[in-house]
Amino acid sequence: MIIAHRGASGYTPENTFAAFDKAIELGADYLELDVQLAKDEEVVVIHDAKVDRTSNGKGHIHHFTLKELQKLEAGSWFHEDFYGERIPTLTQVLQRYGGKIGMLIEVKYPSLYPTIAEKLAKLLTEEMYHNQTIIVQSFDFQFLKQFHQHAPSIPLGLLVKYSIKGITNNQLKEWSSLVSYINPNKALVTKTLVKKIHYRNMKTFPYTARDRKGMEKLIHNRVDGIITDFPDLTKKDPSIESSP
């Protein structure tokens, strides 16, 4: 599986319609996107806790209402060609792309948003999203436990940072009681780790491949999918896909 990291963020401004359109154009299997809550508790698609890096605004997401957030311009920081891009809501993304591509939804900074588990669960379990392929992931295992109470049928992924310096068998055992995916930093991935993940009936989508070498190593280690800024990296050179 090819998972477009924040959309096709190597070519377009991350987490915008431009990035998601490009990911679809390049044949990605999933969109990876980051969600947080606006001041009025709308679920919005943005990576950082502040709007500063990816828009013309300044300040924390939770200090802006949805209306205020959507007035911000979120494309030209990347390139002037993308002037006019906006911060989308999760609902807009699900309505525009649902059924066309899978969604790997990462909840960012859940401790900043005490109601986000409930809000997100409510949104994703609405009937119109039942036929969509959705996975919810987070670095925060406690958050995933909480989310599962509200939406037990939605598959979960645990993100693992490089700083953990290795994943133990006991951790995998505990995690496998809740999650279907272990998604580590690519530097943690070995063939042995992937085998252990598979042994416990989980899958793995490591992050974030940005070059051919990185992709080749992950494919060689038999991962189930690759989170990448450049979803066309394997398609440009099909020989990568058949590496041993």
Where in the sequence numbering do the catalytic residues fall?
5, 47
- Exactly one of 18, 45, 55, 106 binds ligand G3P (CB under 6 A); that residue is 106
The answer to the question of residue 229 lying near Ca ion (CB under 5 A) is no
With respect to ligand G3P, which residue has the nearer C-beta, 71 or 77? Answer: 77
Residues near ligand G3P (CB under 6 A), total: 9
By residue count, the chain amounts to 244
Residue span 3-42 as binding mask against ligand G3P, x where in contact by CB under 6 A, dash where not: --x--------------------------x-x--------
Residue nearest to Ca ion (CB): 106
Alpha helices in 49-168 (DSSP H): 66-71, 90-97, 116-124, 141-150
With respect to Ca ion, which residue has the nearer C-beta, 106 or 232? Answer: 106
Question: In whole angstroms, what is the distance from residue 75 CA to residue 54 CA?
Answer: 7
H/E element holding 138?
strand 134-138
Question: In whole angstroms, what is the distance from residue 95 CA to residue 56 CA?
Answer: 26
Question: In whole angstroms, what is the distance from residue 95 CA to residue 8 CA?
Answer: 19
The answer to the question of residue 85 lying near ligand G3P (CB under 6 A) is no
The answer to the question of residue 232 lying near ligand G3P (CB under 6 A) is no
The answer to the question of residue 189 lying near ligand G3P (CB under 6 A) is no
With respect to Ca ion, which residue has the nearer C-beta, 159 or 196? Answer: 159
- Exactly one of 14, 34, 216, 229 binds Ca ion (CB under 5 A); that residue is 34
Q: How many other C-beta atoms can be found within 10 angstroms of the C-beta atom of residue 241?
A: 11
- Exactly one of 144, 159, 188, 197 binds ligand G3P (CB under 6 A); that residue is 159
Radius of gyration of the chain (CA): 17
- Exactly one of 207, 215, 218, 225 binds ligand G3P (CB under 6 A); that residue is 207
Dihedral sign of CA atoms 162, 47, 207, 113 in order: positive
HEC per residue, 145-208: HHHHHHCCCCCEEEEECHHHCCCCHHHHHHHHCCCCEEEEEHHHCCHHHHHHHHHCCCECCCEC
- For the segment 128-157, give every residue that binds ligand G3P (CB under 6 A): none
Contacts with Ca ion by CB under 5 A lie at: 34, 106
Contacts with ligand G3P by CB under 6 A lie at: 5, 32, 34, 47, 106, 159, 207-208, 227
